Structure 1
Amino acid sequence: MKLNGKHVILSFVLFVFGYLIAVGYQHTSFFNDTEEITDEEWDRTFHYRQQLIDLEARNQTLQQDINDLRLDLMKMEENFSNEQQTLTEAVELKQTLQAYVGELNIEGEGIFLSLKDQNFVPSEENVNDYIVHDYHIQLVLNELYSAGAEAIAINGQRIYADSHVVCVGPVISVDGKSYPAPFEIEAIGNKDTLMNSLTLAQGVIDELVNDQIEVEYKQMNQIVMEHN
């Protein structure tokens, strides 16, 4: 068959059209495949992103819980510290009170006094006017307590608020225990204050001397009183 020019042109047009259709189909298939892959990746990315958001929210919650726990711990430590301080103060107060009431030993500075009967008694005088009586000792005790004495002992026996000092013949009875002269009195407290109080003009020491009592006294840097 003889082909003319029209047939050649028509054939060329059909070839080009077919080529364009094939290329267009391949191009369309490529973009469809690309869109499908992109959707899968987007879904996966969205899933991971959502997980990350959830983890960040959970992390913030845990961090807040940690901060709350730290705050509670700080409050507990503060309360414990206050309770510990209160307990320490209570123990110290208890020990101080126990020392004052004689349940524990007590020590500190203070003064020492010795009261003795007069050695020389004129024959025409009454001997009772030359010996130590309970009111002499009570006079000293009252003055010491007024001057701030923290603890007092007579011949080593602690004196308390309810103690009794009485004369029993030639001896002094302290809470039922008898002691002969000399009567040694120790007092714990500010030694200067105690001494100044006793040695005031026309004070306790002068009164004792006027009553013919032999008095010795001195300051002490350290006095230890054992509990009775």
Structure 2
Amino acid sequence: MHVKGKHVILSLVLFVFGYLIAVSYEQAQYLLEENEIAEDWDRAFHYRQQLIDFEERNNELEREINSLRLDLLETEAQLSEEQATLMSAVELKRKLQAYVGELAINGPGVFVTLKDQEYVPSDANVNDYIVHDRHVQLVINELLSAGAEAIQVNGQRIFQDSHVYCVGPVITVDGTSYPAPFTIEVIGDSDVLLAALTLEQGVIDQLVNERIEVEYGTKQIEMEPK
């Protein structure tokens, strides 16, 4: 069988055409892959940039939170200091009010009751057997020296500028008169106050030697405001 020339040429043309198609297909596939790689890279770059932006924003927010936390701690410390100052001022005000008699107070303490002598000899001077202002003042001074925090006589508060004096058988405290017996009540350390009163040759012994009947002891004491 003889192959004609035109058959050879046709075969060659078909071969070349097929080759070009194959090359074109491979080139198209390559370009498509390159395009996909480029798109993937752009997408990855975009996401990476977003991640970086998010991290920077997160760091910025964290710095703001830390700054606000420090401000909050400083504010809390300042408020705590102001509260402590306020509480101290309130406590000082309360103590001053109690000291000047504007508030009712109560606490442990002692009492001393002074009574006129019941038996007075017929030939004796009755003034030598009754309680005088100096006896009351003697007890008050001794208790103040022992650390008395507050004092009252027959329920009337005694202050630094108070005056106690006697007019006959009665004692006047800041203008108010009281008959015997006279009860002196003191708020303070009961043990210390009682020890001061009962010293040998102390106040109690002196009062007894001057024929004054004395009763004393410890008790819970309440004092009304003046």
TM-score, normalising length: structure 2:
0.88
2:223 corresponding residue in structure 1? 225
Secondary structure of 2:121 counterpart = coil
RMSD: 2.2
Find the aligned partners of 1:65 and 1:91 in 2 and give their Cα distance: 38
Matches within 5 A, 1:71-220: 71-220=70-219
Secondary structure of 1:20 counterpart = helix
Find the aligned partners of 1:185 and 1:70 in 2 and give their Cα distance: 59
- Tell me, yes or no, if the aligned pair for 1:100 and 1:106 is still in contact at 8 Å: no
Residue range with higher mean Cα deviation, 170-179 or 13-22: 13-22
Secondary structure of 2:117 counterpart = coil
Identical pairs, percent: 57
Distance apart, 1:69 and its partner CA? 1.9
TM-score, normalising length: structure 1:
0.87
1:98-145, Cα deviation, whole Å (9 max, x unpaired) = 222211111111111111222333343333222222111111011001
Are 2:42 and 1:43 aligned? yes
1:150-193, Cα deviation, whole Å (9 max, x unpaired) = 11100100011111111223221111111111111111112121
Secondary structure of 1:120 counterpart = coil
Residue range with higher mean Cα deviation, 179-188 or 80-89: 80-89
- Tell me, yes or no, if the aligned pair for 1:106 and 1:225 is still in contact at 8 Å: yes
Distance apart, 1:64 and its partner CA? 2.3
Show structure 1 runs of 4+ deviating over 4 A: 6-14
Find the aligned partners of 2:150 and 2:190 in 1 and give their Cα distance: 12
Residue range with higher mean Cα deviation, 88-97 or 51-60: 88-97
Distance apart, 1:14 and its partner CA? 4.5
- Could you list the runs of 5+ residues in structure 2 that have no partner in the other structure? none
- Could you list the runs of 5+ residues in structure 1 that have no partner in the other structure? none
Residue range with higher mean Cα deviation, 7-16 or 73-82: 7-16
Find the aligned partners of 1:163 and 1:76 in 2 and give their Cα distance: 48
- Tell me, yes or no, if the aligned pair for 1:113 and 1:216 is still in contact at 8 Å: yes
Distance apart, 1:61 and its partner CA? 1.3
1:24-72, Cα deviation, whole Å (9 max, x unpaired) = 1221122123323332332233223212211121122112222322332
